[in-house]
């Protein structure tokens, strides 16, 4: 990875316990260069769009796309009038505007999780916007993320003789792609130089309410567990028991995965 600008100006935020570690894994597999054009998928608030813009420099171009207008506005507010070669637009990464050009690089931090339900077809569509000889690199939490937690929730569901809830939980867990899934899809799409990197990421919390309302977990992974229940009072009963038994599923490990592949000329 080459650099032509001062990366201390817009470093990855040190106070973000989720997006930044995944972005670090992503950036370790993407090959950026001065003057590159980059499409950054599910750019959110700009992690790592700003950093990428600094890497490619003023002769490059970075376009961040995100489905949520609030995130786009937040990124534009942070940007102000700086790094004018970086642009943020509102859009669905599974329905990218067809009038966009092809890019040297396509990146996406935590974006691959939004390719559901048909990740293969969504990936195939995205690759239409990658130049021949270009590289795609995306990061996501892969299969195995928080597995001991899901096992503990399942155990508590079983204790309460819950059938539909257990089926829903297992379906959710298995929906998460594995590195083997990704490698198979990329091979089927005739991509070259496929590289997949997985690293553990520990999420720390205390038991009880701190765990149940952990800002990272409750707005994402735990919310998915709650959605397995039709009866939310029952959900609270089950999850309260789980939250007070953290020693059975700690360390709480996410599997941060990043893949890289090149489009053949």
Give 119-144 pLDDT, tens digit per residue: 999 999 999 999 999 999 999 999 99
Digit-coded pLDDT (tens) for 6-62: 444 578 888 888 999 999 999 999 999 999 999 999 999 999 999 999 999 999 999
Please count the structural domains in the chain.
Answer: 2
Same domain as 97, residue 194: yes
Residues 48 and 162 in one domain: no
Decide if pLDDT at 107 tops 90: yes
> In this structure, is residue 250 part of a structural domain?
no
b/e map 6-32, b = 16+ CB within 10 Å:
eeeebebbeeeebbbbbbbbbbebbeb
**Block residue for tokens 């995306």:** 138
Q: Are 168 and 215 members of one domain?
A: yes
What distance in Å separates the CA atoms of residue 222 and residue 209, rounded to the nearest whole number?
A: 12
- Structural domain harbouring 97: 19-142+177-202+255-263
- Per the domain annotation, does 75 fall within a domain? yes
Whole-number Å distance between alpha carbons of 74 and 31: 27
Give every strand in the sheet of 103-108, ordered side by side: 86-90, 61-66, 37-41, 103-108, 130-141, 252-263, 191-203
Residues 169 and 181 in one domain: no
- Asked if the structure places residue 13 within a domain, the reply is no
124 conformational bin, left if phi > 0, alpha if psi -120 to 50, beta if neither: alpha
The answer to whether residue 8 sits within a structural domain is: no
């Amino acid at each position: 990875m080459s650099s032509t600008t001062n990366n201390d100006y817009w470093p990855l935020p040190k106070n973000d316990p989720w997006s930044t570690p995944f972005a670090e894994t992503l950036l370790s597999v993407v090959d950026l260069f001065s003057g590159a054009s980059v499409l950054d998928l599910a750019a959110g608030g700009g992690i790592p769009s700003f950093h990428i813009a600094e890497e490619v420099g003023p002769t490059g171009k970075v376009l961040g796309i995100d489905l949520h207008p609030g995130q786009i506005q937040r990124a534009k507010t942070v940007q102000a009038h700086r790094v004018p070669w970086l642009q943020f637009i509102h859009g669905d990464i599974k329905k990218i505007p067809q009038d966009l050009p092809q890019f040297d690089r396509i990146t996406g931090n935590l974006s691959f999780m939004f390719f559901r339900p048909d990740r293969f077809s969504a990936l195939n569509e995205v690759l239409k916007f990658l130049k021949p000889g270009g590289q795609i690199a995306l990061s996501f939490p892969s299969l195995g993320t928080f597995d001991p937690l899901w096992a503990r929730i399942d155990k508590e569901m079983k204790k309460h003789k819950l059938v539909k809830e257990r089926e829903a939980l297992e379906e959710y867990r298995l929906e998460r792609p594995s590195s083997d899934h990704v490698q198979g899809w990329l091979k089927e799409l005739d991509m070259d130089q496929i590289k997949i990197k997985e690293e553990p990421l520990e999420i720390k919390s205390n038991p009880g309410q701190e765990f149940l309302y952990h800002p990272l977990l409750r707005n994402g992974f735990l919310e998915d567990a709650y959605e397995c229940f039709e009866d939310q009072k029952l959900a609270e009963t089950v999850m309260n028991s789980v939250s007070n038994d953290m020693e059975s599923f700690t360390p709480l490990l996410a599997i941060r995965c990043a893949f890289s592949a090149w489009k053949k000329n």
